Structure 1
Amino acid sequence: MSAAVQSFLDMLAAERGAAANTVSAYRRDLDGAEEVVGELAKVDRAQIEKLAGAWSALAPSTVARKASALRQFFGFALDEGWREDDPSGALPKPRTRRPLPKVLGHDAVETLMSRAELEASTGKPAAVRQLALIEMLYGSGLRATELVGLPLSAVPRDAPMITVMGKGGQARMVPVSERAQMALSRWIEIRPSDPASKFLFPSRGGKHLSRVRLFQLLKELAARANLDPTGISPHVLRHAFATHLLEGGADLRVLQTLLGHADIATTQIYTHVDAARLVELVNSRHPLATRERSD
């Protein structure tokens, strides 16, 4: 990796507050590009055009992500005076459609929850923790990283809200359902006491439960509940939280705040799943809908 790319990554972390996972993703994309064309601070347009062939077998969304990383790097290089031109115009421009979120139906959520509650009734710590994790994913719409990284201090004793540190180090208050509060209370009572760990869901060495392990736990639970494990993940439960709230009449701006989206355009993707309800709402609630039609 070139020194210029390392400086760019340092800027992402220090000035933009990019999360470690985000910085790692940029690192992989920029490293991969330099393996093909050489040092990015010195390449010309002809070299950049080679990336189209190197990326030809990749999905359009992946190409778009890689191209975005390079465009941001070249903009940074211009600002730093490392380059006098911006060759990003030679980058591939795939046509992409934003993928619609996977939708988990109410019945599937109920089946998953019922299985988790059944296993938690044994009182085994792992099962009680599992229930608390699922209740927070579906009941509060947390991202996997936000959930596993919750400090114990984020859970108040009485207030039905929890402080979450989202992307870019942005904190937000998220409501916690009564079900989730009960599950969290049960977990905190039997949570392993480890002075070295400050996390709500601790792991060995003072660390917290990993995202990978959270994925595994959900898929294993789905299999035991006779659900397709490939259709269950922390992000799918987050999507279900958003979709089902929207179905219940939640305002899009409120949903944006709950999910921690910087741009409401990101939140609007959920409106596709509720088109039928919106049509029914217009037909039943619009002022002209109640007027009798005349000949």
Structure 2
Amino acid sequence: MAVRNLKDGSKKPWLCECYPSGRNGKRIRKRFTTKAEANQFEHFTMQQVKDAPWLGEKVDNRRLLDMVDIWHRTHGFSLAQGKYTLNRLNFIAESLGNPLAAQFSAKMWTNYREQRIAGLVKNAKGKFVAVKTSTINHDQAVFNAMIEELIRTGEWRWDNPLGKVRSFKQHETEMAFLTDEQITAVLAAAKVHSNASLYPIIKVCLATGARFKEAEQLRGAQLSRNKITFSKTKGKKNRTIPISPALYDEIYQPTSGRLFKNCYNSMWRMIDDLIPDLPEGQATHVFRHTFASHFMMKGGNIVVLQRILGHTDIKHTMRYAHFAPDHLEDAITKNPISHLF
């Protein structure tokens, strides 16, 4: 609904356009001489719907795209990846056919994911592409989170259809990391790269376990003597990591602004050339995985690693526990045949 000035030179330039029954319901349009009259009519029209108890409960004609819009205006805008999540939710709602929210069901969802896996749903670029079950699980997680948030705020007045839909079970993904030889090769290539920011960014990632984007966006204001404070992180919490005096001197600049230029694409191409057998999708995080893996192999404490990486749930950090030198060593001496030979 809206009141706007058409500026067409007429005696009644103010247009009131409203939808008492929702975006897809009946539209009411009326023109007025003044803005005040248009606003009064809008208020009167919308109030009539609210003040008619004999009509029973008002039919809710909001559709999934309407609910996505409400979610973004009331909550999603505040998320670090709010724009990305909004685009994904809009894509899902459109792929589902944008049904009435009141009619959205678990059956609709299972049909949707079956079609996506079979490649019968167009992707964001308009192409029919089959997706993996991990992609479907991510879709389900973000859509379920949206519905749960709308339930908390009272906008979603029905049961959550995804509440009892199980995600697909996934095999634990391989956590690739760089060997000492590979680290040396990567640093050597980065040092002579045309983008001078690539070398110090990779060193920061390997020295602190930072995500590549966190290091790439690093500002001078985040440096203190021999320490880096990562802010605006994925986990929404700042974390301060000590660094060596040599690294501090190398990256320090007398500015509070950005220290490095963007070089994500350069990094991705370089890693793809140097280490082509990395598992799919891990080039971005290979430096973070390398830090965590070597930290544990050198006897680091898993709880300390959790704090360094900024994981809110230690279950994510436990993926690196098996790199500890004494991990499950008792299996050697306490198995049922150890005393027989």
For this structure pair, what is the TM-score category when the shorter chain's length is used for normalisation? 0.7 to 0.9
Summarize deviations over 1:116-169 as a string: whole Å, max 9, x none. Answer: 34x28xxx8x33x2221111011111112211222221122xx21111011243
Identify the match of residue 146 of structure 1 among 214, 220, 227: 214
Identify the match of residue 321 of structure 2 among 250, 271, 280: 271
Q: What's the offset of the Cα at 1:171?
A: 0.8
**Using a 3 Å threshold, how does the CA distance of structure 1 residues 49 and 218 change in structure 2: closer, same or farther?**
closer
- Which structure ranks higher in relative contact order (CA pairs < 8 Å, sequence separation ≥ 6)? 1
Is it true that 1:181 corresponds to 2:228 in the alignment?
no
Q: Determine the C-alpha separation between the residues in 2 that align with 1:163 and 1:28.
A: 31
Kindly provide the amino acid, as one letter, of the partner of residue 229 in structure 2: T
For 2:223, the equivalent position in structure 1 comes to 155
Q: Determine the C-alpha separation between the residues in 2 that align with 1:8 and 1:83.
A: 14
Q: How many residues align?
A: 254
Kindly provide the amino acid, as one letter, of the partner of residue 31 in structure 1: F
**Using a 3 Å threshold, how does the CA distance of structure 1 residues 40 and 174 change in structure 2: closer, same or farther?**
farther
Is it true that 1:47 corresponds to 2:97 in the alignment?
no
For 2:121, the equivalent position in structure 1 comes to none
Question: After the TM superposition, which residues 59-78 of structure 1 pair with which residues of structure 2 at under 5 Å, given as runs?
Answer: 59-78=132-151
* Alpha-carbon contact 1:18-1:168 (below 8 Å) kept: no
* Alpha-carbon contact 2:297-2:324 (below 8 Å) kept: no
Larger radius of gyration between Structure 1 and Structure 2: 2
Question: After the TM superposition, which residues 17-56 of structure 1 pair with which residues of structure 2 at under 5 Å, given as runs?
Answer: 17-20=78-81, 23-39=83-99, 41-45=101-105, 46-56=107-117
**Using a 3 Å threshold, how does the CA distance of structure 1 residues 68 and 279 change in structure 2: closer, same or farther?**
closer
Give secondary structure in 2 for the equivalent of 1:163.
strand
* Alpha-carbon contact 1:34-1:40 (below 8 Å) kept: no
* Aligned-residue CA RMSD (Å): 3.2
Q: Determine the C-alpha separation between the residues in 2 that align with 1:275 and 1:258.
A: 16
Summarize deviations over 1:230-266 as a string: whole Å, max 9, x none. Answer: 6373410110000001101110010001101111000
Summarize deviations over 1:182-231 as a string: whole Å, max 9, x none. Answer: 4314xx37xxx8xxx921224xxxxxx2xxx32423533673xxx22563
For 1:171, the equivalent position in structure 2 comes to 238
Kindly provide the amino acid, as one letter, of the partner of residue 298 in structure 2: G
Give secondary structure in 2 for the equivalent of 1:50.
helix
Kindly provide the amino acid, as one letter, of the partner of residue 63 in structure 1: I
Kindly provide the amino acid, as one letter, of the partner of residue 149 in structure 1: Q
Larger helix proportion of the pair: 1
Kindly provide the amino acid, as one letter, of the partner of residue 216 in structure 1: S
Q: Determine the C-alpha separation between the residues in 2 that align with 1:144 and 1:178.
A: 21
Structure 2: where are the runs of 5+ without partners? 1-63, 119-130
Kindly provide the amino acid, as one letter, of the partner of residue 102 in structure 2: K
For 1:205, the equivalent position in structure 2 comes to none
For 1:198, the equivalent position in structure 2 comes to 257
For normalisation by structure 1, the TM-score amounts to 0.73
Kindly provide the amino acid, as one letter, of the partner of residue 132 in structure 2: A
Question: After the TM superposition, which residues 127-142 of structure 1 pair with which residues of structure 2 at under 5 Å, given as runs?
Answer: 127=196, 129-142=197-210
Q: Determine the C-alpha separation between the residues in 1 that align with 2:181 and 2:99.
A: 53
Structure 1: where are the runs of 5+ without partners? 203-208
**Using a 3 Å threshold, how does the CA distance of structure 1 residues 275 and 176 change in structure 2: closer, same or farther?**
closer
What percent identity do the matched residue pairs reach?
22
**Using a 3 Å threshold, how does the CA distance of structure 1 residues 35 and 116 change in structure 2: closer, same or farther?**
closer
Q: Determine the C-alpha separation between the residues in 1 that align with 2:328 and 2:239.
A: 32
Give secondary structure in 2 for the equivalent of 1:219.
helix
